[in-house]
Structure 1
Amino acid sequence: MIKKIDVANLKPKMFIHDINCPWIDHPFLRNSFFIESAQDIERIAAYGIRQVYIDTALGPDMPEAPTVHDINRQLDAHMQHLGRTLKRVPPPLLSVEKERVKAKQVCREANRIVHNVLQDCRLGKQVELEQVEPVVSGIIDSIFRNPDAIVSLLRIKQADKYTFQHSVAVGTLLISFCRALDIDRKLIEQVGLGGLLHDIGKMQVPTNILNKPGKLTESEFEIMKNHVRYGCQFLEKTPNISPVTLNVAAEHHECFDGSGYPLGLKGDEISLYGQMASVVDVYDALTSTRIYHAGIEPTEVLRKLLEWSDHHFNLTLVHQFIRSIGIYPVGTLVRLESGYLAVVVEQHHENLLHPRVRVVFNSRTRRYTPPADFDLSKPGCNDRIASFEVPAKCGVDPQRFI
């Protein structure tokens, strides 16, 4: 049986089923392993990990601990409550379909510019803000026309271009997040710029570590963590850089409980924009497919963000982030109660549980169907989302149908 326990209750010979760490680049070579000694427990705690899942069939039990089914049931109830109660910002100016054409152009330009800026940084050249600011402005304009169009493009990444595509994704998601919080446009520009440049310090990390096709060793992980310090040193020399932009770069790996790095800031010691960046950074990292990590479906990652808000994240901000992208973000493959597979193509602004979907596949007959759109929020629509699905397991590519 899989159960969740506090790290303080771990004992030697227990088998960790899942280390339950919100960071992709943690220093443990495996997520599952036996606890051999007290030193193993101390090492886990030293990296800010507060709770883990154990397999009681392979090691000692803790009878009073909740099972994974108990935890998932609580998280499902939490998500359902948010879906019913959270309202999105006013309806968009353009449909997803119309804005997506413009959003693709914005994404292409953003990827090109950010790639060039990061490469210049590797060569020791200073950031020229006048290069990046028009990119930020273009993303903001797209977000204000329809946030779901450009956000639906962000999971499309190439392994050899991950660092700068991740930077574009974090900047874009932060801008969408800011819009949901009704933040002033001038501030949104500063936050978005911070998102685009938040990982600029990685250009000072040795390429054999940055591009390693596998898990980092403990010593490599410590070197990688220096990217925050490198980035701050670099950006502080940039003329006219704003404190808000610096906060995003400096604090995106800080955690609400003080377990993050580089300064171990806690709670409100972390700026609002640093707290937002930490949520967005983890979300994009976990939903992205990398050489050694298959991307996790967005709805599952949102559940994990809620779970980790017990310690690592500001729960109120996680709620607002979910409000900004939806329970089932555009591009999510879902299974309807009728047995059909559908792709989420547009959010409903009054109820996040019932988006507009495009039915594309009959899972009972195992055949594609002519695409047909259904607004699940309409009173006459009797179908509902039963679950989200992993596209690779179903053999359905959602991007074909958006």
Structure 2
Amino acid sequence: MIKKIDVTDLKPKMFIHDINCPWLDHPFLRNRFLVESEIDIERIAEYGIRQVYIDTERGPDMPEAPSAEEVHRQLDNRMQRLGQNLRREPPPVSVEQERVQARHLCREANRIVHNVLQDCRLGKQVELELVEPVVSGIADSIFRNPDAIVSLLRIKQADKYTFQHSVAVGTLLIGFCRALGIDRKTIELVGLGGLMHDIGKMQVPNAILNKPGKLTEAEFEIMKQHVRYGSLVLQKSPGISPIALSVAAEHHECYDGSGYPLGLKGDRISLYGQMASVVDVYDALTSTRIYHTGREPTEVLRKLLEWSGHHFNVTLVHQFIRCIGIYPVGTLVRLESGYLAVVVEQHHENLLHPKVRAVFNSQSRVFMPPRDFDLSKPGCHDRITSFEVPSRWGIDPGRYI
């Protein structure tokens, strides 16, 4: 049986089933391994990991610990409560109307950020005036309909991950700020910080940055330096705001003080740094990379909720889930009817009842002509029962949005 325990209860000879770490770039070669000694436990604690999952069939048990199923059920109940009874203004335009402009903005943002990061690698100064119009355009799209551009962010190429991730983080931060009612000028400054948050990685050797596998402990320590490098580069950029700088400088700080580079704790981390840490982990875990298959958005949101209180500010995680939706646009879901459907638009009052496009009959295991359902309508009696992994069914959700 898989159970969840505190690291303080971990003992040698226990078998870790899941290291339960928010960061992909950690120094453990595997997520599953036998705890050999107290030294292993000390290393786990040193990296800010508070709780792990153990396999009681491969090592000692802890009888009173909750099972993974119990933990997941509790988290799902919390997610469901977060998704109810929202009161948001419906967007001015539909997803379909905004999507063409959103695609153009994504392409342009990827091109500009790629060029700026490459210039930085060559030792050139960051030209913020090239990035600012991109930030403004993304903000315009978010204000018209946030679902359109956010639904495109998971599409990344392995060899272009760093700058595509930067665009995604900047865009998600703009949407997050807008959902919190932050003023437009500040939103653009936060978005600029998001687009530039990983610029320090241009000072990390390519052999480490693009390594097709886990980093060694020494490599991980070098990778962590990207935050300091980025802060130094941006500090030398004329016109950089303290708000944008805080995003880049603090996106790896943790609410419990276990992050880096400064180990800041609680409200010593700026609001925008706290928001960036949530968004950075969300996009990293939902993205497919050379050595990591992206998880489904709903699963990652559940993990963010699990990690809140330690790694993240609980209130901000709740607000981010409400911002992006329990079933974000592009998520494959199973309906009570047995249809598999792609979420195509959020409902502004209840995240549990989005608009979906049914594409597959799971009972007869055949594709069907796409059929739209607005689960919020009184006449619609279908509902979402779970999210699904698209690769299991051979479905590409992007084709249907």
Which TM class, normalised by the smaller chain length?
over 0.9
Measured in 2, the distance between the counterparts of 1:119 and 1:64 equals 53
1:26-45 to structure 2, matched below 5 A, reads: 26-45=26-45
The amino acid across from 1:259 in the alignment is S
**2:258–2:311 Cα contact (<8 Å) kept:** yes
Post-superposition offset of 1:178: 0.4
Q: Which residue of 2 aligns with 1:123?
A: 122
Cα offsets for 1:7-51 (capped at 9, x unmatched): 111110000000000011111010000110100000000000010
1:62-101 to structure 2, matched below 5 A, reads: 62-87=62-87, 89-101=88-100
**2:255–2:309 Cα contact (<8 Å) kept:** no
Measured in 1, the distance between the counterparts of 2:275 and 2:85 equals 21
TM-score, normalization by structure 1: 0.99
Post-superposition offset of 1:144: 0.4
Measured in 2, the distance between the counterparts of 1:24 and 1:333 equals 24
Measured in 2, the distance between the counterparts of 1:357 and 1:92 equals 17
The amino acid across from 2:28 in the alignment is F
Q: Which residue of 2 aligns with 1:162?
A: 161
The amino acid across from 1:357 in the alignment is V
State the superposition RMSD in angstroms: 0.6
The amino acid across from 1:274 in the alignment is G
Post-superposition offset of 1:368: 1.2
TM-score, normalization by structure 2: 0.99
Q: Which residue of 1 aligns with 2:261?
A: 262
Measured in 1, the distance between the counterparts of 2:76 and 2:128 equals 43
Is 1:176 the counterpart of 2:175? The answer is yes
The amino acid across from 2:126 in the alignment is V
The amino acid across from 2:300 in the alignment is V
Measured in 2, the distance between the counterparts of 1:360 and 1:34 equals 43
1:176-195 to structure 2, matched below 5 A, reads: 176-195=175-194
Q: Which residue of 2 aligns with 1:348?
A: 347
Q: Which residue of 1 aligns with 2:238?
A: 239
Q: Which residue of 2 aligns with 1:8?
A: 8
SS in 2 for 1:84: coil
SS in 2 for 1:350: coil
Q: Which residue of 2 aligns with 1:360?
A: 359
Post-superposition offset of 1:323: 1.1
Measured in 2, the distance between the counterparts of 1:303 and 1:70 equals 13
Aligned residue pairs: how many? 401
Measured in 1, the distance between the counterparts of 2:326 and 2:339 equals 19
Post-superposition offset of 1:177: 0.2
1:178-327 to structure 2, matched below 5 A, reads: 178-327=177-326
Post-superposition offset of 1:370: 1.1
Q: Which residue of 2 aligns with 1:61?
A: 61
**2:341–2:357 Cα contact (<8 Å) kept:** yes
The amino acid across from 1:29 in the alignment is L
SS in 2 for 1:98: helix
Measured in 1, the distance between the counterparts of 2:17 and 2:157 equals 30
Cα offsets for 1:97-132 (capped at 9, x unmatched): 110100000000000000000000000101111100
SS in 2 for 1:294: coil
Post-superposition offset of 1:310: 3.0
**2:243–2:272 Cα contact (<8 Å) kept:** yes
Runs of at least 5 residues in structure 2 that lack an aligned partner in the other structure? none
**2:11–2:38 Cα contact (<8 Å) kept:** yes
Measured in 2, the distance between the counterparts of 1:213 and 1:53 equals 26
Cα offsets for 1:160-188 (capped at 9, x unmatched): 00000000000000000000001000000
Measured in 2, the distance between the counterparts of 1:199 and 1:314 equals 22
Measured in 2, the distance between the counterparts of 1:397 and 1:46 equals 40
Post-superposition offset of 1:364: 1.1
1:371-382 to structure 2, matched below 5 A, reads: 371-382=370-381
Measured in 2, the distance between the counterparts of 1:71 and 1:330 equals 26
SS in 2 for 1:3: strand
The amino acid across from 2:228 in the alignment is R
SS in 1 for 2:373: strand
Q: Which residue of 2 aligns with 1:25?
A: 25
Measured in 2, the distance between the counterparts of 1:66 and 1:298 equals 24
